[in-house]
Amino acid sequence: MEFKFEKLIIWQKAMDFGEEINALANKFPKSEIYNLSSQIRRAVDSVALNISEGSTGQTNPEFIKFMNYAIRSFAEVVTCLYKAKRRDYISEPEFKTQYEFAWNLMNMMIAFKDKIK
């Protein structure tokens, strides 16, 4: 038995990305625990959560609405990555790795959303 969203590659990749970002946020200084660490974790978790919530909706327009929420959360994650890099919490290679993954998954999500219509 499986929920509909579990079959979605974008959900699976968003789940993986969430774990990667969570591990990265563990490296941030303790002074960021209620700020950037918390923000990036909530934003990255929101991506997979919105995909799953939208997939259980009754209509395509509703699913598109939740996909838009997921995409916006993704943009927030990328901005948090930039902040982490600027504050020297993550290295340039760490940033590039996560940025590339984010770029590819974001494009997959946009393509998926466009096909829902």
pTM, full prediction: 0.94
List CB contacts of 50: < 8 A, sequence separation 6 or more.
66, 67, 69, 70, 73
Find all residues with CB under 8 Å of 32, minimum gap 6, and list them: 89
> Nearest CA to 17 among 109, 112, 115, 110?
109
Question: Is residue 1's pLDDT more than 90?
Answer: no
Could you read off the pLDDT of 44-90 as tens digits, one per residue?
Answer: 999 999 999 999 877 999 999 999 999 999 999 999 999 999 999 99
Give 80-104 as a 3 state SS string. Answer: HHHHHHHCCCCCHHHHHHHHHHHHH
